[in-house]
Structures are given as structure tokens and as C-alpha cells.
Amino acid sequence: MGAQKSIHAGKAKIDVNVDFTHKLCAASMLPSLRSTGSPFSLIIGSLGIKHPNLFGGSEKLDVSWDKGLYDSNVIIAYRRPRPEWLSQKCFVIQHSVSPEIGVHGTPIDNFSRSGSGGVNLSRISFGLNRSEPATSDWSSTTSIKFEHVQIVNDDGRSITRDIDGFPLTRSGNPHDNMVVLKQESQYAKANDHSFYRFRMQIEQGIPILSKWLIFNKFKFIATKGVKLGPAFLLASLTGGSIVGDMAPYQAFAIGGPGSVRGYGEGAVGSGRSCLVANSELTFPLTKMLDGAFFLDCGTDLRSGRLVPGNPAMRQGKPGSGVGLGYGLRFKSPIGHLMVNYAINDFQQRTVHFGISNLI
């Protein structure tokens, strides 16, 4: 259920959006990561507050809160008006808590699912985002932020080591601190028959203090879509690498619905580098229903042993994997409701449910 309300505060109008849903069928739709201690933990939803004229000069304040079954995310963003031909600046404060399944989760059912490893990331960050004016094909965003990452268990208590006694942070303390300079660029081009999109992200850790992380991390995503009569072929290639100081939670996790389907999240492997290829052919069945065939593959490029503590080897992850299958796509105003049936290298069959935004 959801609700929208506009509140007039002086000369400004505040928009409030609330959307809460009680997941009565959560146990059957999602894998169990850990036991839920209260009815509130089974509530998922979002709350949004927007103030379009905070100080009377068209300054915008956006506050959003999203809660899942096991995670939450709060974002506060403040923007001052600037001409469209100038770069747009935004000051952002964010706090998120989420289970760290990709690296420290335990593969189960022949790597088709990942169980909780009792490791959760609590992140607090604040910084400045700067978006350059977009050209016809290119867009870019530069940000600098301070980030405080704390490791907690399922009860919310700080921890420093995993179940095998290996450090969970780079510093060895319950938390890591870093200042990160990030550059994101995107090139996109489309016509009536195809589209192409290339995204590049580069992150640089700046050692303001001696114990703060210094690293360089890059990631790219190249996507190509082509119409083949009534069908549509979508292919993508994702890769990345990180050098310098590194905490285990910064590793690239391979496997899962958004990576290699047929595997649990991070069940293929986790490494300093990664390469993942995805392909999917969709075709119409009815006006509101599409069918799909897909093939995914991914590898850590033998870099799993370079992650501090080598969590992938200790959990017996293969380091590379292939998943294939078929599925249904139900069209709706909020995106595609997906049902995927996949099989991995270990002949384990899985069913995934999800929502994908329309491309």
C-alpha cells in the first residue's frame, strides 16, 4: 500500500511519499539470510520528502529512506539552483546498512544460493557531487566524499574478524575510513533498431591520514541491444580491477541475478579483478508478457587469492562459472517483473524473482 501527501509550509510545498508493504510471502519468495526477530523486520517500503524551496531561493532538499528485509538506506541531498549550462552541484549525506553476502556469504545448494555469513556493512558518508552539462552522447559526474565503513554482526555489534578469524577490515579495527574521489562517465547512442551504452567508473582513495585507505579502482560496463524482428537481443560485458590498499568487502563479487544467473550472490567468486559477460534474447508472447533465453559467464581472472584473507578459497568458490536458462518478463508500470529458471555448472537448478527497470 502507498500514500502521497502534499503539505504547504509557508510559501513552499513539501511532497511526502510513503510506500509500505508487509511481505507475508517473504519466506517463499526470498532466500532466508537470517531469522527475523520482529514483525517490523518483515516490513519493506520507502519514505520520501521533497522541499522545492528550502530557503526561498529555489534550493531543493530531498530526503529518502528505503528499507528492505535485511537492509536500509537513508539519503539527504541538498541542491542549489544553477543555470543548465553550468555544472550542477549537490551535497549528499548517506547512511546504509546491508548484509555483505557477495564476499562473506556461504554458498549452499551447489552454489545456487548464498547464506548469511553474519557480516554486515554499516556505511556513513558525506560529500559533494558535481554533474557536468550533458552533451548529445556523453555525460559525466565527479564526486568526492568521506566514507566511514563499520563491520557489524546480525545483532548490530561491531566485529573485526570473520568466522575463520581473518580480519574484515583493512585497518584491523572495527571500521575503515577513506576519502574517495570518483569519476563516472557514460556514452550512449540509440536509434530505432539498436542502442549502445558504455559506462566507466574510476575511484581513487586519497590518504589524508596514514591509516586511511589508498587505492585505485575502476569498473566498466558495455551494453549493446539490437532488434531482431520482433525479438530483442541484449548483450553486456562488465569488468573491473582494484590496486593498492584493499579491504575484503571491496572485492568484486561474481554470481547472482545481476551477474551470473544460476549462482547465488558472489557464489562464483570474489577477486581483485573480474570479467562478466551476459546475453539475453527476449521475444513477445502476448501484449503484456515476454519470454527470454539467457546465457551468463563470469570469472575472477584468478585474482581471488589476492583478496586479504582469501575468503573465496576458504568457501570453496570455483572462481569461474556459467549459467543459462529461460524466463518470463511481465510488463508493468514500475518495470519488468521477472521470473528466471537457471542452471549452473553444477547442474543445480534455481528460480529467481525480481524487478528490472525498463531500458
Task: Dump pLDDT digits (tens) for 38-84.
Answer: 555 666 778 888 888 778 778 899 999 888 888 899 999 999 888 87
Is pLDDT at 15 greater than 90 in this prediction? no
pLDDT tens, residue by residue, 206-217: 989 888 999 999
> What is the reported pLDDT for 27?
37
* Rounded Cα–Cα distance for residues 19 and 2 (Å): 4
Is pLDDT at 307 greater than 60 in this prediction? yes
pLDDT tens, residue by residue, 225-235: 999 999 999 99
> What is the reported pLDDT for 132?
85
| Average predicted confidence (pLDDT) for the chain | 86
CB 318 within 8 A of CB 345: yes
For residue 237, which amino acid is it? L
Torsion of CA 83, 86, 92, 98, to 10 degrees: 120
Query: What would the mean pLDDT of 142-164 be, rounded to a whole number?
Result: 94
Cell of 18: 510513503
Q: Which of 15-29, 50-64, 135-149 has the highest mean pLDDT?
A: 135-149
pLDDT band at 34 (very low <50, low <70, confident <90, very high): low
Strands 43-51 and 138-152 turn out to be unpaired
* Rounded Cα–Cα distance for residues 255 and 318 (Å): 11
> What is the reported pLDDT for 24?
38
Cell of 199: 559506462
Phi, psi (deg, nearest 5) at residue 298: -155, 155
pLDDT band at 333 (very low <50, low <70, confident <90, very high): confident
pLDDT band at 6 (very low <50, low <70, confident <90, very high): low
Is pLDDT at 114 greater than 70 in this prediction? yes
Q: Count other C-beta atoms under 10 Å from residue 301's C-beta.
A: 19
Cell of 276: 562478466
pLDDT tens, residue by residue, 173-194: 999 999 999 999 999 999 989 9
- Left, alpha or beta for 166 (phi > 0: left; psi -120 to 50: alpha)? beta
For residue 233, which amino acid is it? L
> What is the reported pLDDT for 313?
94
> What is the reported pLDDT for 25?
38
> What is the reported pLDDT for 14?
59
pLDDT band at 7 (very low <50, low <70, confident <90, very high): low
In 3D space, the residue among 293, 319, 310, 353 whose CA is nearest the CA of residue 111 turns out to be: 319
pLDDT tens, residue by residue, 229-268: 999 999 999 999 999 999 999 999 999 988 999 999 999 9
Percent of the chain whose pLDDT exceeds 90: 60
If DSSP codes are grouped into helix, strand and coil, which group holds residue 154? coil
> What is the reported pLDDT for 10?
58
Percent of the chain as helix, strand, coil, to the nearest 5: 5, 60, 35
> What is the reported pLDDT for 29?
40
Q: Higher confidence at residue 8 or residue 227?
A: 227
> What is the reported pLDDT for 23?
41
